[in-house]
Structure 1
Amino acid sequence: MIKVNDIHKSFGEAQVLKGISTSFEPGMTNLIIGQSGAGKTVFLKSLLGLYTPEEGTIVYNGQINREMTIDDKREFRKELGMVFQGSALFDSLNVEENVMFPLKMFTKQSLEEMLERVNFVLKRVDLENSNMKFPAELSGGMQKRVAIARAIVMNPKYLFCDEPNSGLDPSTSILIDNLIKEITEEYQITTVINTHDMNSVMEIGDKIVFLKNGIKAWEGSSKEIFKTDNTAVVDFVYSSNLFKKVREAYLNER
């Protein structure tokens, strides 16, 4: 579980995060949405520990970020999994080597133990027998699944995803969404996803945090977002005619 208590983050004179408080539960897909410039990326990087807020605290299962020592942070890093927007695979390494990379960096496992774990997670993301392929030989969706395998190979408590559906076609995006949700529930991971994909919001949004101009303007579930009267959320989520019709149909059924 992650608890965020009144965090503020500025860069020079620009105040980006202006007192955000929320919480993210394990076993749930927690989504961060909002317009470009709303503070989503800075918020996500603050959760990852890449930025340190000037005010407020972030608490990870009772451990307060400001009280972590260097050793605490090193151990905490082992509990994090990250899926980057562009997958961020090493082009010169094959699938097996990419997925094994965190194990080599953070554990003292034998090669046999690492291979066993790598093969386990590759099977979990439906990429059995892809060990020796290189990223250039894979489709965008397969690259993203390799990135997910690498993110969960350390059996993390926390999984962070930055625009995991970026550059993918709609059908592949749905597959990635479902995979992330399944893994989150199966392993009871605290998953936080930064996304612009409204299909993701509607399909897997157990909890949604909507940021606007550096503040939390709304939070709720994908079901509650249909019912909200929050003007900023309605304007953002239902900017397309398709989602407007979906919302109208939902409200008419009530």
Structure 2
Amino acid sequence: MIEVKGLHKSFGDAHILKGIDTFFEKGKTSLVIGQSGSGKTVFIKCLLGLFSYEKGTISYDGKIFSELSEDQKRDLRAEIGMVFQGSALFDSMTIQENVMFPLQMFTKMSKSEMEDRADFVLKRVNLDDAHYKMPSEASGGMQKRVAIARAIVNNPKYLFCDEPNSGLDPKTAIVIDNLIQEITDEYNIVTVINSHDMNSVMEIGEKIVFLQYGLKEWEGSKDTIFKTDNKAVTDFVYSSELFKKVRKMYLEEKQ
């Protein structure tokens, strides 16, 4: 579990995060949503240890991050997988080499052991024959699956995804959503997704944290989000006519 208590973060006079309290559980896909400027990207970067913060605590399975030694922080980072918005693959490396990169950084595996592990996770994301291709030879959806394979190659306890469906067509986005949820369930990991994709929220949002102006305005699930009367949430989620119709149908079915 990741637990956040009273988190505050500022840049100069700009107070970005204003006392956020929440938690993220194992085996659940948790989504952090909000408008541009809501603080969600800064929040995720604080969770990852990329940004320091003025007040509050972030705990990984009871270990407070700010109290860890540098060696302990390095050990924790080895337990974190990250899927970047643009996949962030190394253009000069093959797909197999990209996937092996975290193993080279954080383990003492032999080359053959790393190749076996890369082969395993590439098969897990349905890329059996892509090992020796270059990223430029892969479609956007394939690149995203490579990024997921790289994120889980180290068998992480925690998985972070930054806009994993950015730039993907709706059909491929659903494939990526389902893959992330399957891996979360299968490996019983803590998965936190920074997203603006409402389809993802409705498909895999087992926990949803809605940020507005640096505050946690609301949290719940893909089911309870239909029931909320929180105006900030409904204005954000149901800004399109499609989701307004979906909510109306849902509420009518429950009556």
TM over 0.5: yes
Shift of 1:95: 0.3
Shift of 1:160: 0.2
Structure 2: distance between partners of 1:252 and 1:127: 43
Q: What SS class does the counterpart of residue 41 from structure 2 fall into?
A: helix
Q: What SS class does the counterpart of residue 31 from structure 1 fall into?
A: strand
Q: Which amino acid aligns with 2:168?
A: L
Structure 2: distance between partners of 1:11 and 1:192: 24
In the other structure, the counterpart of 1:26 is 26
In structure 2, the gaps of 5 or more residues are none
Shift of 1:66: 1.5
- Aligned pairs, how many? 254
In the other structure, the counterpart of 2:239 is 239
Verify: 1:76 aligned to 2:95, yes or no.
no
Q: Which amino acid aligns with 1:207?
A: K
In the other structure, the counterpart of 1:52 is 52
In the other structure, the counterpart of 2:186 is 186
Structure 1: distance between partners of 2:105 and 2:31: 29
Correspondence list, 1:50-199, <5 A: 50-199=50-199
Structure 2: distance between partners of 1:232 and 1:68: 37
Structure 1: distance between partners of 2:89 and 2:252: 46
When normalised by structure 1's length, the TM-score is 0.99
Shift of 1:208: 0.0
Q: Which amino acid aligns with 1:196?
A: H
Structure 1: distance between partners of 2:94 and 2:37: 36
Extract structure 1 runs of 4+ deviating beyond 3 A.
none
Structure 1: distance between partners of 2:108 and 2:234: 50
Shift of 1:44: 0.3
Structure 2: distance between partners of 1:117 and 1:66: 32
Q: What SS class does the counterpart of residue 222 from structure 1 fall into?
A: coil
In structure 1, the gaps of 5 or more residues are none
In the other structure, the counterpart of 2:40 is 40
Q: What SS class does the counterpart of residue 17 from structure 1 fall into?
A: strand
Q: Which amino acid aligns with 1:182?
A: E
Q: Which amino acid aligns with 2:53?
A: P
Shift of 1:232: 0.3
Structure 1: distance between partners of 2:80 and 2:253: 42
Superposed CA deviations along residues 224-244 of structure 1, whole A, max 9, x for unmatched, are: 000000000000000000000
When normalised by structure 2's length, the TM-score is 0.99
Superposed CA deviations along residues 37-82 of structure 1, whole A, max 9, x for unmatched, are: 0000000000000011110000000100121100111101100000
Shift of 1:252: 1.1
Q: What SS class does the counterpart of residue 3 from structure 1 fall into?
A: strand
Structure 1: distance between partners of 2:89 and 2:217: 35
- How many percent of aligned residue pairs carry the same amino acid? 69
Superposed CA deviations along residues 178-218 of structure 1, whole A, max 9, x for unmatched, are: 00000000000100000000000000000000000000000
Structure 1: distance between partners of 2:132 and 2:123: 14
Structure 2: distance between partners of 1:45 and 1:177: 21
